[in-house]
Amino acid sequence: MSMDSSMLLALLLALFIPILLHLVTRRKYSSYNLPPGSLGFPLIGQSISLLRALRNNTDYQWYQDRIKKYGPVSKMSVFGSPTVLLTGPAANHFVFSNQDLIFTQTKAANALIGRSLLTVSGEELKQVRSAVQSYLRPDVLSKFIWKMDEEVRKHIDQNWVGHKTVTVVPLARRLTFNIICSVLFGQEAGPISETMATDFGTLVQATLSIPVNIPFTNFNKGLRASRRIRKFLRQIAREREAAWKQGHCSSADDFFTYMFALRSQGTHFLTVEDIVDNAILILGAGYETSSVLITFLLRYLANEPDILGKMTEEHEEIARNKRPNEPLTWDDVSRMKYTWKVAMETLRTVPPIFGSFRTTIKDIEYQGYHIPKGWQVFTAQILTHLDPKFFYDPRKFDPARFHNQSSIPPYCFVPFGGGPRMCPGNEFARTETLVAMHYLVRQFRWKLCCKEENYRKDPTPMPVLGLPIELEAKSPSECARA
C-alpha cells in the first residue's frame, strides 16, 4: 500500500470510527437518556487529551470547556471506559456516597497492588476498611508521633543542614516514605525503607500505565518492582507473625502484628498475602500525596512572607514551652491551627489527587440522565475548589478563608474525598505535615531558585524542576530549640 493510500485509510478510519461508535452506542442505549458528549475513539477516548491537560496544568480550563459545551453532566471515555463527568458539590456527594457506585482502579493498579482494600467488596470491604482505618486513627497515631518527630529531625540533619540549595521534590518524597515505613514497620523501618524506596517510585509511576506486559515498558518495570516489594514484605510479615505467636511482640509494635492481632479476634480474615497487599496500598497511597502537600507548602511560603511569619510565630510559641530536643507531642500538633489552615489552602489550590472515579454496578440516574451499568463516573476536585461561588477570589492564596470553616458549603472542599471511602490517612497526613513544617520553618529561610517554576500533574502535581530552593540556616539564637 502506498504512503498516500495508507494515510487516506487512516484518515477515513479517524472519521468513521467515532461515527460508528456513536451509532452503536445510540442503538444499544436507544431507550436511555444518555448525557451529552462524545465517547471518542475506542479505548483512547479523551484519555490523551485529559492527561495532556493535566500535564500542562490546564485541566481546570479543560473541564470548563466541556461544561461550556455540554453542561455540568457530560459523557466521554477515559482510561478505557465510557465515563460521565459530574460537576459541583452535589455531584461530589453523589460520587462519594452512592451505594450503586464502586471504587474504580486502573487495571495496572490492580495488577501492581494486588488484593487490597481497593479490590474487595461487601462484608470483606467493611472489615478491611475498618482494620486499616483503625491503625491510622488519631489515638494510635498519637503513640507514633515521636517516631514522626525522630524521622523528620534525622531527615533534616542528613539532607538539609549544611546545604546551600536543595531540591524539594525528591527530599519530600523520601521523608514521607521514611515516616510511613517507620509507623508501619516499627523498629526495623530504616533498612526496610532503604530497600523499597526506589521500587516504590517505580510502582507508583506505573499505576496509570497501559497494562500490557512488554519488556522495558513502565508497566513491566512496575510489575517487577511490585514482585520484589511483595517478596521482601512477605518475608518480614512471616517473621512478625512467628514472633507474635511466640509472644515476642505486641499488637502496638507495627502494622503486621496489629493486623494479626485483629485477625485472631475475628475482626477480619485476611491472609498474610492480603495483609502485605494492603500494606503496599497504604504505602503507595500515603507517601506521594503527602510529599505533594509539603512541596507546595514550601513553594507557596517562599512567596508569602506574611503568612510564613504568622506560621513561624505559631511554631516558636510551641517551642518556647518545650525543653531542647524534646519531641513534639499530640498536644503540640493540635495547637498548630494556623499552619493547618495554610496546609488546607495549599490542598484547595493544588489537590494532590486530581479526581475520584467510581464504576456503576447497575443502571443509575443522575439529574435526569441515565448512566448505564459498567460505566465510570468521575468528579474533579479542582472544579469546586476553584469555583468563585464557593471560594471568593479562588486563585488567591489566602489561608484566612479557613478561619470560619462552617462558611464553606459541604462537599466543596474535598482534598481527601468524602463518604465511606474518604481517605483514611487524612490525620496521618495532617500530623506528619505539621511536624515537618515545625522543624523546617524554625530552622531555615528559603528562596525559590526559579521564581516562575511551573508545575505539571503527572498525575500528581509536581514542579517541573523538582523545586530547587536556596537555603539559609537560621542562627542558633533564632532556633534555639529546633
Contact characters 61-100, ligand HEM, x per CB under 6 A: ----------------------------------------
Query: Exposed e or buried b for every residue in 2-39, given b needs 16+ CB within 10 A?
Result: eeeeeeeeeeeeeeeebeebeeebeeeeeeeebbebbb
Least distance to ligand HEM, CB of residue 168, Å: 15
* Interface map 141-180 toward ligand HEM (x if CB under 6 A): ---------------------------------------x
- Judge whether 423 is annotated as a binding position: yes
Burial of 132 (0-12, 13-18, 19+ CB in 10 A): buried
Taking the least distance from each CB to ligand HEM, the nearer of 436 and 482 is: 436
Secondary structure class of 100 (helix, strand, coil): coil
Smallest distance from the beta carbon of 294 to ligand HEM, in angstroms?
Answer: 9
How far apart are alpha carbons 237 and 243 in whole angstroms? 10
* Least distance between ligand HEM and beta carbon 373 (Å): 20
Which member of 114, 286, 399, 461 binds ligand HEM (CB under 6 A)? Answer: 286
- Binding of residue 461 to ligand HEM (CB under 6 A): no
State which of residues 54, 78, 136, 448 lies at the interface with ligand HEM (CB under 6 A).
136
At its nearest, how many Å lie between ligand HEM and the CB of residue 287? Answer: 7
Return the C-alpha cell found at 327: 519531641
When CB distances to ligand HEM are compared, the closest residue is 425
Segment near ligand HEM (CB under 6 A); pick from 36-44, 304-312, 318-326, 416-424: 416-424
State the SS3 of 334-400.
Answer: HCCHHHHHHHHHHHHHCCCCCEEEEEECCCEEECCEEECCCCEEEEEHHHHHCCCCCCCCCCCCCHH
417 binds ligand HEM (CB under 6 A): yes
Nearer to ligand HEM (CB atom), residue 102 or residue 473: 102
Nearest to residue 296, comparing CAs of 404, 177, 456, 426? 456
Shortest gap between Cβ of 444 and ligand HEM (angstroms)?
22
CB of 69 to ligand HEM, least distance (A): 25
**281 in contact with ligand HEM (CB under 6 A):** yes
DSSP state of 329: -
Q: How far apart are CA 375 and CA 255, in angstroms?
A: 36
The least distance separating ligand HEM from the CB of residue 105, rounded to whole angstroms, comes to 9
Task: Tell me which residues in 351-390 interact with ligand HEM (CB under 6 A).
Answer: 352-353, 356
**Could you give the strand order of the β-sheet that contains 165-167, starting from the edge strand earlier in sequence?**
165-167, 468-473, 444-448
Which of 89, 415, 461, 463 is close enough to bind ligand HEM by CB under 6 A?
A: 415
Instruction: Give the single-character DSSP code of 277.
Output: H
Residue closer to ligand HEM, measured from CB, 202 or 289: 289
429 binds ligand HEM (CB under 6 A): yes
358, with CB counted inside 10 A (0-12, 13-18, 19+), is buried
CA distances in angstroms from 186 to 131, 190, 194, listed in the order given: 18, 9, 14
With a CB cutoff of 8 Å and minimum separation 6, the contacts of 237 are 256, 272, 275, 276, 279
Dist CA 443 CA 476 (whole Å): 9
Q: According to CB under 6 A, which residues from 291 to 350 bind ligand HEM?
A: 293
Which residues share a beta bridge with 102?
359
Residues of each annotated binding site:
423
Residues of each annotated binding site for heme:
423
Question: Which parts of this chain interact with ligand HEM (CB under 6 A)?
Answer: 103, 117-118, 129, 132, 136, 180, 281-282, 285-286, 289-290, 293, 352-353, 356, 415-417, 421, 423-425, 428-429
